[in-house]
Amino acid sequence: MKQYTIAIFLLVSVTGWSQSSVSLDSCISWAYTHFEYESQALAYRESAELADKNASKNWYPKFSLDANATYQNENIELALPPIAGFESPQVPLNFNRVLVNFNQAIYDGSVTANQRKLEQSKYSILEEKVETEKIKVKSKVTGIYMSILLTADNTALLESKRKVVAERLKVIQSASEFGSVTPVTIKSLEAEILKIDQQIIETEHTRISLYLSLSEISGKEIPETADLIKPQPFISFDNNVENRPEIKLLNMQIENFELQKGMIGTNRNVRINAFGNIGGGYPGYNIFKDEVAPMALIGIKLQWNIIDYGKVKNEKQILTLNQRITLSEQSRARTQFVTELKTQQQEVKKMQDLLSKDDQMITLRTEISKIKAAELENGTITSTDYIAELNQEEEAKLNQKLHELKLILAELNYLTIQGK
């Protein structure tokens, strides 16, 4: 029995309620909701939309209020010889102005277009990272779910074995009245029943513990009375891992490097802006006129970074190197996942081959147990011999259940590695 308890925990390591039955897909979906993956992904999508709106506003005219008051100790003086009837103009020492400035981009060198693409890429990467986290939770839920199914089958087999031993005990007790069976045989069967009861208790506690784990990870109160539906996965062995979130994530990062190159390239592009202001001041633009005057100005500006001493080129080269590193990581990840797929494929075939022999093994063990039961009743073998053979029959039946569940688990793992 110890080996089956180990098998249960190996399966786990791989990975207000009202309904009477539960599916694996439901548990996985509840776990995703419990860990708020969808709300996190939604937040990234909303952030991407807001970032895009902000970037598009680069084309909106920009307005700012500029108010200032200054005083200086001296100002411009016109050193002119005295002229009859002419008084040299005086520039005031204090300037007071209130202006509304505006700036309108006419051509921004593709900065806005590249910025919008880069922002979208950034949040898509963050959203895909959520998918990589979901894979881990999915594997954990699957492991717990399949372990519960195994413990349920184990309990059913133990109860069936107990029934067989109890019935055999009744027969032996009846035979003992005629003195053909020793008291030791009866005590051995009674001890075996107690041992089976202990195994049932142990298995049931393990099952309850697994249900608690499933409830914890799914965020749902799933009672141990809930019936878990056995999954029926369908797989095709194509060894395609391009849908795996990690592969998609690396693809996005490679594309993001290209977008960053484009953004850096805009640093050398020509930019053309219209600018101006409107308002009033004391004095106005005519500083020799000692009065409050309206002020208005409009202009156009061209800006071009003629030389950057190779800075843009170096920054692009850095991104190219990072791109190569990411490509290498992607190649290694792809190789790793394909290797895991091939391993799972062999696991599937192994379980199928083992299952093909299980029925034959169970039939033989059952026939042998019947023969041993008759020999026990006739007193030609001891109860120990009979129990040993009965354990072999139980082991064959449990092996079949274990192989069935391991086959399903291998198929589910294959789909998970594919990213399905």
- Alpha-helical segments (H) within 177-244: 183-218
Q: Domain for residue 83, yes or no?
A: no
Q: Which stretch of 76-90, 198-212, 254-268 has the lowest confidence by average pLDDT?
A: 76-90
Nearest by Cα to 187 from 200, 175, 169: 169
Percent of residues, the chain, with pLDDT higher than 70: 91
Amino acid letter at 216? E
The total domain count for the chain is: 1
Which residues does 374 contact at the CB level (< 8 Å), separation at least 6? Answer: none
pLDDT(36) > 60: yes
pLDDT(275) > 80: yes
Nearest by Cα to 279 from 98, 101, 103: 98
Q: Domain for residue 82, yes or no?
A: no
pLDDT(378) > 90: no
User: Could you tell me the pLDDT band of residue 1, with boundaries at 50, 70 and 90?
Assistant: very low
Q: Domain for residue 80, yes or no?
A: no
State the pTM of this model: 0.80
Pairing between β-strand 271-282 and β-strand 94-107 as defined by DSSP bridges: antiparallel
Q: Residues 256-265: what's their mean pLDDT?
A: 93
What integer pLDDT is reported at residue 382 of this predicted model?
A: 78
What integer pLDDT is reported at residue 167 of this predicted model?
A: 82
What integer pLDDT is reported at residue 18 of this predicted model?
A: 47
Q: Domain for residue 42, yes or no?
A: yes
Nearest by Cα to 409 from 336, 341, 344: 344
What integer pLDDT is reported at residue 188 of this predicted model?
A: 84
Note whether 211 and 8 are within 8 A (CB). Answer: no
What integer pLDDT is reported at residue 176 of this predicted model?
A: 66
- Residue 344, token pair as written in the block: 């799972």
- DSSP-derived secondary structure for 113-146: HHHHHHHHHHHHHHHHHHHHHHHHHHHHHHHHHH
**Which of the residue ranges 13-27, 230-244, 370-384 has the most confident prediction, judged by mean pLDDT?**
230-244
283: cis peptide before it, omega within 30°?
Answer: yes
What integer pLDDT is reported at residue 238 of this predicted model?
A: 85
Q: Domain for residue 81, yes or no?
A: no
Angle CA 306–311–313, to nearest 5: 95
Give the domain extent around 150: 2-75+90-418
Distance CA 411, CA 420 (A): 11
pLDDT 10s digits, 107-159? 998 999 999 999 999 999 999 999 999 999 999 999 999 999 989 888 888 88
Q: Domain for residue 138, yes or no?
A: yes
CATH of residue 308's domain is 1.20.1600.10
Q: To the nearest whole number, what is the mean pLDDT of the chain?
A: 87
User: Could you tell me the pLDDT band of residue 14, with boundaries at 50, 70 and 90?
Assistant: very low
pLDDT(184) > 70: yes
Q: Using DSSP, how many helices (H) and how many strands (E) does the chain show?
A: 8, 6
- Residue 53, token pair as written in the block: 């709106």
SS3 of residue 211 by DSSP = helix
Residue 302: CB atoms within 10 Å: 10
pLDDT(180) > 70: no
Q: Which stretch of 90-94, 126-130, 139-143, 307-311 has the lowest confidence by average pLDDT?
A: 90-94
Note whether 224 and 208 are within 8 A (CB). Answer: yes
Q: Which stretch of 24-38, 95-109, 250-264, 379-393 has the lowest confidence by average pLDDT?
A: 379-393
Percent of residues, the chain, with pLDDT higher than 90: 58
Angstrom distances, CA of residue 42 to CA of 53, 135, 137, 232? 17, 18, 19, 31
Distance CA 324, CA 320 (A): 6
pLDDT(179) > 70: no
Note whether 281 and 97 are within 8 A (CB). Answer: yes
SS3 of residue 64 by DSSP = strand
What integer pLDDT is reported at residue 280 of this predicted model?
A: 93
Q: Domain for residue 206, yes or no?
A: yes
What integer pLDDT is reported at residue 295 of this predicted model?
A: 93
